[in-house]
Amino acid sequence: MSQKDTFDRVFNPRSVALFGVASQDKTKFSYYPLRSMLQSEYKGNVYIVNPKASEVAGLKAYASVKDIPGEVDLAIITLPNSVVADILTDCAAKGVKGAVIITAGFKESEDESGGELQKKIADIASEAGMAIIGPNTFGMVHLHDNLNASFTPYMSTLRKGSISLLTQSGGITHFLAPWVFGQTNVGFSRIVGLGNRANVDFADMIEYLLHDLTTSVIGMYMEGIDNPRSLLEAGRKAVGVKPLVVFKAGQVETSRSAALSHTGSLGGRHELYKAAFTQAGIITVDSLTELLDVTKVLALQPPPRGNRIAIASPVAGPALVGTDICETSGLCVTRFTAETQERLNELIPPIVARTNPVDWAFTTEIIELLLKDENVDILLLSYSFTDALIFPSTGIVEAAKTYGKPVVMSIRAPEGAWQKEIDELGSNGIPIYPMPDRAARAAVALTKYGDILREMGGI
Amino acid sequence: MSQKDTFDRVFNPRSVALFGVASQDKTKFSYYPLRSMLQSEYKGNVYIVNPKASEVAGLKAYASVKDIPGEVDLAIITLPNSVVADILTDCAAKGVKGAVIITAGFKESEDESGGELQKKIADIASEAGMAIIGPNTFGMVHLHDNLNASFTPYMSTLRKGSISLLTQSGGITHFLAPWVFGQTNVGFSRIVGLGNRANVDFADMIEYLLHDLTTSVIGMYMEGIDNPRSLLEAGRKAVGVKPLVVFKAGQVETSRSAALSHTGSLGGRHELYKAAFTQAGIITVDSLTELLDVTKVLALQPPPRGNRIAIASPVAGPALVGTDICETSGLCVTRFTAETQERLNELIPPIVARTNPVDWAFTTEIIELLLKDENVDILLLSYSFTDALIFPSTGIVEAAKTYGKPVVMSIRAPEGAWQKEIDELGSNGIPIYPMPDRAARAAVALTKYGDILREMGGI
C-alpha cells in the first residue's frame, strides 16, 4: 500500500477505534476524544477498546482491537505511554492503517526512555505500514469528512474551507483555529497536529496534501525540523501546485531548548532556515497573525502577473501605510499610463493625491481605471467607516472580475455597519483585513508567490 | 490666557458654533458634524451660523458668529477654504477660543495658494490666541465631555477610557477607533485629528495632555513632523508623567511625497526619527495593531521593576513564541530561584518544561510561585481554549494583586467560551490579546517603558 493510500484511509477512515475511554466523566481527559468523534457527524463506525468495560456512552466496548468485527482504519490513543507499543502491535495485527497518539511522554520527555519508546512505536508502525500522527499531539481534524480525531470537540464547528494547517503545537493550533469565525468565506480543510512526528513529518503531509482537492494552501507552525532536506524537497515539489506558508518558532537558544522538551525537535539557526525556505519556494512569515493573513489571501486570490501595485483609499493615511510596506518589501508602487493619469486628473480634485497612491477611491470608475491600467498587476484598497462614506463594493467586485487582477482590501467598520458591502466583497472572494498594514503584507505575500511561480518555473 | 486655559476651553467648550450647516440633507457632508454634536449628549449650547437660513434642525441660525447672544468657545468649520479666514476673523472678534477646521485645500494642496491660505489662518488664530485643530481633519472627540466635534457621529459611541490618540489622518483614526469595541476595560479619552497642524502640533497636545487627568497614555499616528525639536522636547517632559507611543508612516520616498500632499508634512529619514524618538523616551511601534496593543498595556498595567520575565502556558507552543520575542527584544527570560524551581519540579510532571518557559500553568499555586519569585519582574501567560482546559483566572487576579507585578496574557476562545474568566481578568485590568506574539510584544513594550523611567530619571 502506498503512503498515499495509507493516508487516504487515515484521513478518510471508514471506522475509528478509541483506546483509553473508560467513562463519560467530563473531568477525565479521555472523555474528550470520544466526545469529539460523537459530535462531529462522522459517518463511519466508532468503536471503543477497553478490556475493563462492556459499554461506554452507549457503545459496546471491545477487550482488544482484534475483537472488533469490521475493519478498523484509524486508532485514537490517549492511554499512558507504557502501553502504546502493545496497542500498536495489536493494531498492526488487525490491519489498522494509522493512529493518532495523543499520549505524551515520548521523545519530548526529559527521561531518555521516552526517546527509546518513540523509536519503538515508530518501528512497529513503519514495519506494518501504519502512519502515526503524534505522539504528543492534540490530534487532527478533517472538516470535509466530519472527522474530529482530537481532544477538542469544538474543532468540529470550524468553517469548512481550503486552508490546511500543519502544526507542531496544540496550543498554537487552538490560537489559530478560532480565527475562522471572524472571517468571510474562509475556512479549513485539515488541521493536523504533528506532535513529535514519529513517522509522519511535515514533508510527508505536504506531499500528500499536494494531491488533496480540498486543500488550496498549506499553512505551517513549526518548531524544529529533523529532516530539513526532505522538507525543502517537498517545498520544491509544491511550486506551481500549492503555496506553502510557514511560521517558525525557536529563534533563540532558550526557545530552541524548550522546543526540544516540547516535541523533541532540534531547532537550527533561524536565519539559515529562513533562507533555505525561501530558496525552496516556501513563504515565511513573522507572526502568527501573518500566518493566517497570508494563507487567507492565497486561498482566495490568484497571484498577480507582476509586482506592480496600485494603492488607493478614500483618505490618504491608509494608502501611505500600504505604500511604506509595499515599497520596503520590493513591490513597485507603479506609475500609471498617461491615459489613466489624465483621466484620474479629470475625476479627482487637485487637493488630494491623484498619482499612485490615490487618495480618492469613491467611485466605480476610479476602481476600473486602476485595474484596467496595463501598468497595474494588483490593487490594494482601504476603506474605514465614517457615517458619510459610501464605497463602491459592487464596482470593486465587477472590476476585479472584468480585469482578472487580484484585489486585497482593508475595511474597518463598527459592528453592523457596511455589513452588506463586506458580505458582497467577501462572498466574491475579495480578502478583507481589519488594518491597512495587514492587507498590505498580504498583498506583498501574494505578489511574492507570483514571483516564486515565475522564477521557479511553476508557471 | 495661557495655552492650557485656551485648550481647556477648546476641549471642554461651554458652547459650540457650527459653520457650513445648511440643511439636514444626509447626502451633504456638512450634515455630519451637526449630527455628531446632537447625538453626543453634549451638555453645552450648540449654535448654527448660516446667513442664508433662519433655522436648521430646529436650531435658530445666526447670520454671523457675532450675533450669537452667549459666549462661544469652539467653532466647527466645514465651509470652503476661501471663506475660512473671514470666519476666523469673526470668531476672533467674538472671543472664540478655538476652531476645528475640517475643510481641506490648505498646505496639503498641489496649489501654492493653499499654503498661503494656511499661513493666513494660522496668523489670524495665533494673534487672537485661538487654537486650530486642523485644517484638513476629521475633527476631534473628547469622550469624557461628550464632545464629538467631528464628521463621524458614531465616534460618540466609543467606550470611555484613558487612552488619548493624536493622529494625522482621519482614515487611520477610523481604522484605530472601532478597535475598542472588541476590548475589555479599555477605552479612549480624546481622539484628536491634527490634520495640517496650522498652529496646534503634536508637541502642543502632548504638553497639554500631560496634565489631563483622564489621559494615562498617549498614542500617536504621525506622517511628518515640522518641528522635531519641540516634539522631542515634549517627549522628554513626558518621561515619568505619561508614556508616549508613536507609529510613524512615511518610511519610503513615495509615501513621504504622498504625505506632503496629504497633510503638507515633510517627512525625514525614518531611521533618524526612530532613533530620536527612542532617545527622547518615546516608544516606537512597527504596526497599527501594535500601536493599539501597546497603548492598551500601558493604560492597564504599571511597568515592571526590571526586565526579568517569566513565561508560562498550559502548552508549550505559545510559551515558545513568547520566548523568541522577549529574548530577541532584550528581555531576560529569567532563571527562577532554587526554591521556586524545586517546588515547580514537585508540582509539574517531568514530561513538560518546568524551567522558564513553563509549560504547565494549570493551577493558582504555580501562578503564585512565578509571581512571588524575586527573580521575576513580569509574567506572560497564554491560554488557548480546549474543551478540557480550565484556567485559574481567579488565582491570576489574586496573585497579580498580592505581588504587585504586571501580568500580560493571550487568550483565545470561541465566542461565548471562557466569558466569565475573560471578564474577570479584564475587569481587573489584566491586558488580554488574541495571539501569544502580540501579548509578548506588549510585555516587551511595558518593560521598555520601565527601562525608560529608570534610565531617564522618571522614577
Return the DSSP state at A358: B
Residue A263 pLDDT: 62
Burial grade of B85 (CB within 10 A; 0-12, 13-18, 19 or more)? middle
The three-class DSSP label of residue A77 is strand
Q: Is B60 left (phi over 0), alpha (psi -120 to 50) or beta?
A: beta
From A261, A314, A359, residue closest to B262, measured CB to CB: A359
| CATH number of the domain enclosing A63 | 3.40.50.720
Number of helices (H), then strands (E), belonging to chain B: the values are: 16, 19
Indicate whether A151 belongs to any domain.
Answer: no
Residue B329 sits in the same domain as residue B391: yes
- Three-point CA angle A45, A196, A224, nearest 5°: 140
Residue A162 sits in the same domain as residue A21: no
Cβ distance B351 to A29 less than 8 Å, yes or no, reads no
Question: Bridge partners of B17?
Answer: B47, B75
By residue range, what is the domain housing residue B437?
Answer: 302-455
Indicate whether B17 belongs to any domain.
Answer: yes
Residue B92 sits in the same domain as residue B174: no
HSE (CB half, 13 Å, CA atoms) of B445?
A: 31
What does the pLDDT look like over B320-353, one tens digit per residue? 999 999 999 999 999 999 999 999 999 998 878 8
Residue B184 pLDDT: 86
In angstroms, the separation between the Cα of residue B74 and the nearest Cα of chain A is 22
3-state secondary structure A35-74: HHHHHCCCCCEEEEECCCCCEECCEEEECCHHHCCCCCCE
The three-class DSSP label of residue A264 is coil
Return the DSSP state at A143: G
Cβ pair B130, B98 in contact under 8 A? yes
Cβ distance A252 to B415 less than 8 Å, yes or no, reads no
Residue B2 sits in the same domain as residue B110: yes
Cell of A318: 491608509
Residue B170 pLDDT: 92
Residue A267 has pLDDT above 60, yes or no: no
- Residues from chain A that touch B318, judged by Cβ atoms under 8 A, are 169, 171-172, 175
Confidence at A289, pLDDT banded by 50, 70, 90: very high
Confidence at A32, pLDDT banded by 50, 70, 90: very high
Mutate to test the interface with A, among B222, B251, B290, B320 (most CBs of A within 10 A): B320
Residue A318 sits in the same domain as residue A395: yes
Cβ pair B385, B358 in contact under 8 A? no
Alpha carbons A161 and A185: distance in angstroms, whole number? 8
Which of A300, A320, A350 terminates a domain? The answer is A300
Indicate whether B147 belongs to any domain.
Answer: no
Indicate whether A53 belongs to any domain.
Answer: yes
The three-class DSSP label of residue B424 is helix
Residue B250 sits in the same domain as residue B358: no
Model ipTM value: 0.93
Distance from the Cα of residue B90 to its chain's centroid: 34
What does the pLDDT look like over A419-442, one tens digit per residue? 999 999 999 999 999 999 999 999
Cβ distance A357 to B288 less than 8 Å, yes or no, reads no
Residue A277 pLDDT: 93
Cα Rg of chain A, angstroms: 25
Cβ distance A252 to B438 less than 8 Å, yes or no, reads no
Mutate to test the interface with B, among A106, A188, A254 (most CBs of B within 10 A): A254
Share of chain A above pLDDT 70, in %: 96
Indicate whether B152 belongs to any domain.
Answer: no
Cα–Cα nearest to A136, from A171, A87, A175: A171
Kindly report the backbone phi and psi dihedral angles of residue B410, in degrees, each rounded to the nearest multiple of 5, phi listed first: -115, 135
Residue B129 sits in the same domain as residue B52: yes
Cβ pair B81, B104 in contact under 8 A? yes
Alpha carbons B334 and B308: distance in angstroms, whole number? 5
Least confident of A83-92, A222-231, B317-326, B424-433: A222-231
Confidence at A173, pLDDT banded by 50, 70, 90: very high
Residue A196 sits in the same domain as residue A277: yes
Cell of A283: 513563504
Cell of B63: 447670520
The count of domains in chain A is: 3
Residue A71 pLDDT: 96
Cβ pair A283, A445 in contact under 8 A? yes
Task: Name the residue of chain A whose CA is nearest to B136's CA.
Answer: A351
Cα–Cα nearest to B152, from B129, B176, B184: B176
Cα Rg of chain B, angstroms: 25
Question: Bridge partners of B378?
Answer: B309
- Residues from chain A that touch B252, judged by Cβ atoms under 8 A, are 323-324, 327-328
Alpha carbons B382 and B413: distance in angstroms, whole number? 11
Cβ distance A412 to B29 less than 8 Å, yes or no, reads no
Residue B273 sits in the same domain as residue B321: no
Residue A317 sits in the same domain as residue A437: yes
The helix, strand and coil proportions of chain B, stated in percent and rounded to the nearest 5, come to 45, 20, 40
Return the DSSP state at B358: B
Confidence at A264, pLDDT banded by 50, 70, 90: low
**To 10 degrees, the CA torsion angle through B88, B92, B96, B99?**
30
Cβ distance A437 to B315 less than 8 Å, yes or no, reads no
Average pLDDT value for residue range A192-196? 96
Which of B273, B300, B327 terminates a domain? The answer is B300
Residue B306 sits in the same domain as residue B432: yes
Indicate whether B148 belongs to any domain.
Answer: no
Q: Which segments in chain B show pLDDT lower than 50?
A: none
- Residues from chain B that touch A410, judged by Cβ atoms under 8 A, are 175
Question: Bridge partners of B74?
Answer: B16, B98
Contacts of A119 (CB under 8 A, 6+ apart): none
From B29, B316, B410, residue closest to A388, measured CB to CB: B29
- Residues from chain A that touch B359, judged by Cβ atoms under 8 A, are 258, 261-262
Cβ distance B110 to A385 less than 8 Å, yes or no, reads no
What does the pLDDT look like over A361-381, one tens digit per residue? 999 999 999 999 999 999 999
Indicate whether A152 belongs to any domain.
Answer: no
Indicate whether B142 belongs to any domain.
Answer: no
Cβ pair A192, A240 in contact under 8 A? no
Residue B291 sits in the same domain as residue B370: no
Which of A300, A316, A344 terminates a domain? The answer is A300
Q: Distance of CA A388 to CAs A191, A373, A436, B69, B267, Å?
A: 42, 29, 20, 32, 30
Alpha carbons B266 and B257: distance in angstroms, whole number? 8
Dmax over Cα atoms in chain A, in whole Å?
Answer: 82
Cell of A68: 472488533
From B32, B350, B384, residue closest to A387, measured CB to CB: B32
Cβ distance A249 to B31 less than 8 Å, yes or no, reads no
What does the pLDDT look like over A304-343, one tens digit per residue? 999 999 999 998 899 999 999 999 999 999 999 999 999 9
Cell of B413: 476562545
Helix residue ranges, H only, B268-408: 270-279, 288-300, 316-328, 338-347, 364-372, 393-403
| CATH number of the domain enclosing B175 | 3.40.50.261
- Residues from chain A that touch B20, judged by Cβ atoms under 8 A, are none
Residue A274 pLDDT: 85
Cβ pair A96, A75 in contact under 8 A? yes
CB pairs A-B closer than 8 Å:
269
